[in-house]
Chains A and B, each alone.
Chain A
């Protein structure tokens, strides 16, 4: 039981808990690629990416922007004749590349994901989920307020809160998260 897994098996191992045999039934019909609303921005179509994974083209797969451009819209999922959870595969690739620090350079997707998680863990709630992470990440808090004001007009209409919200039982919340992510600083006193 110790044959070294191929890249294809590494990915299926990662999806294993949720899907017994996640992508081997793909018939390469291309329905997913034809359905995908983002396909014109991807360097490989979803179908091609699945083919590449099965061919163990690890470097090419990790260098691809396809899974970072996936909007998780699940349109391919509901049409795939083999019932493959393609959106979950895209998540898995994101996770794989983050865990291995091997995502394509210049992408802000991974950093954004991290910023977002951090923000929610600090208060239990998200500070305007749709806009804030992008702006705070790029410009800081003041920049966020400025940008949100000039770019979208939301502040003008009173639709941006001044302070990030917090839940009441934040200590319990953080201890709860500490059971799932093994990190000591989550468990300490909430600042």
Chain B
């Protein structure tokens, strides 16, 4: 069997993290968690991850976007697929009644809103990992 894929979650909500961590571990992924964006970026820089699951509203505001933007500037981190999972509609709902939530100015691979169905989560993760693999194969 191939070595398990390594995922990083950056999310400040312990309840949510507990939930998806369990789902992902059951599906044989190796999962690390950072509960604030600063620790999260440090983990990205020091570790080897195949995928990042990223929250938006953390710390002083939408710091998840800051993390994504910073990753795109780094040649190595740029290759890591990013799945944004956000509860922003709930958190500052007044800003976009019925509107699409999107960090339009930063390239992220996928965005889903909380709460997320376990099967959908696994589907998205799998698809992004596959895509990254194809991209890598093409590049070499």
Contact = CB atoms under 8 A, between A and B. Distances in A.
Are A and B in direct contact (Cβ within 8 Å)?
yes
Interface of A: 1-2, 4-5, 9-10, 13-18, 98-101, 114, 117-118, 121, 178-187
A101 B104 contact: no
Q: Is the interface of A mostly helix, strand, loop or mixed?
A: helix
Contacts of B90: 101
A153 to B, nearest CB: 32
A183 B33 contact: no
B35 A13 contact: yes
Given A17-B38, A184-B102, A187-B104, A2 B95 contact: no
Contacts of A98: 91-92
Interface in B73-130: 86, 88, 90-92, 94-96, 99-105
A186 B95 contact: yes
* Count class of interface residues, chain B: 35 or more
Given A17-B36, A98-B92, A180-B62, 16 more contacts: A1-B32, A2-B17, A4-B14, A13-B36, A17-B38, A17-B63, A99-B92, A101-B90, A117-B95, A118-B94, A121-B95, A181-B92, A181-B95, A182-B62, A184-B102, A185-B95
Contacts of B38: 16-17
A146 to B, nearest CB: 25
Q: Closest 10 CB pairs between A and B?
A: A182-B103, A2-B33, A13-B36, A185-B99, A99-B91, A184-B100, A114-B94, A17-B59, A183-B96, A16-B36
Contact of A179 (B60, B88, B100, B105): B105
A9 B35 contact: yes
A9 B21 CA distance: 19
B60 to A, nearest CB: 6
Given A16-B59, A178-B104, A184-B100, A114 B36 contact: no
Given A1-B33, A2-B33, A181-B62, A118 B95 contact: yes
Interface of B: 12, 14, 17-18, 21, 31-39, 43, 56-63, 65, 86, 88, 90-92, 94-96, 99-105
B64 to A, nearest CB: 9
A86 B86 CA distance: 29
29 contacts: A2-B21, A2-B31, A2-B32, A4-B18, A9-B35, A10-B35, A13-B12, A13-B35, A14-B12, A14-B58, A15-B59, A17-B59, A99-B92, A114-B92, A118-B95, A178-B104, A178-B105, A179-B105, A180-B61, A180-B65, A181-B61, A181-B62, A182-B56, A182-B65, A182-B102, A183-B99, A185-B96, A185-B99, A187-B104
Contacts of B96: 183-185
Contacts of A185: 95-96, 99
